[in-house]
Amino acid sequence: MYKTKNDLPEEVRAKAVELLNARLADAIDLQSQTKHAHWNVKGPDFISLHELFDKINDDVEEYVDLIAERAVQLGGIAEGTARVAAKRSTLPEYGAKGGNGRDHVDALSTALAAFGKAARQAVDALDELDDADSTDILTEVSRGIDKWLWFVEAHLQADR
Ligand SMILES: [Fe+2]
């Protein structure tokens, strides 16, 4: 940990950095899965899904940056290489192999839901640490992810 004039106790900062780095790994994994979907989707809904997945990528890229920079603000190191992310990510392996749009919708909604669940758990843990600002960041992230989960999952929800 780096020295900082930030008044949060070092113990709090260290625990928050650990929680942030865990979610950073998931977010980097989610971003690469989202781009993978953007590149490989085919079929009758190609253009709408291709564009939707890229919009999701734009937001996830912002979440990666928000989470990483919060870790650094607290005196930590943002552990954001692809190798670390691949080792630490808690997301399942991306589930679509070919180009089928429905398969990509299913795979990406699974990834978004898994990320959202872990982000919410981080909100609770960061709140417990009394780190209101990290809690706010993860709340913003999970709120955005829930919106994108809705956009993706709606493709599968015509029937109840
Ligand atoms: Fe592109």
* Alpha-carbon gap, residue 12 to 26, rounded angstroms: 22
pLDDT computed for residue 10 by the predictor = 97
Distance 90 CA to ligand 1 centre (A): 26
Distance of CA 102 to the CA centre of its chain: 21
Q: Say how many Å lie between the CA of residue 25 and the centre of ligand 1.
A: 22
Closest C-alpha to 30, from 104, 123, 115: 115
Cα–Cα distance for residue pair 120/100, rounded to 1 Å: 30
Q: Which residue has the tokens 């692809």?
A: 82
Query: Cα(39) to centroid of ligand 1, in Å?
Result: 7
In the beta sheet, which residues pair with residue 129? none
Is there a contact between 152 and 108 (Cβ–Cβ < 8 Å)?
yes
Whose CA is closest to 105, among 92, 91, 94?
Answer: 94
In angstroms, the CA 114 to CA 26 distance is: 9
Dihedral sign of CA atoms 82, 86, 91, 93 in order: positive
The token pair that represents 73 in the structure block = 């603000």
Nearest to 55 by CA among 72, 22, 31, 85: 31
- List, run by run, the mean pLDDT of 10-residue segments along the chain (160 residues): 97 98 98 98 97 98 98 98 98 96 98 98 98 98 98 92
**The whole model's pTM is what?**
0.97
CA of 42 to the centre of ligand 1 (A): 14
So what's the pLDDT on residue 160?
83
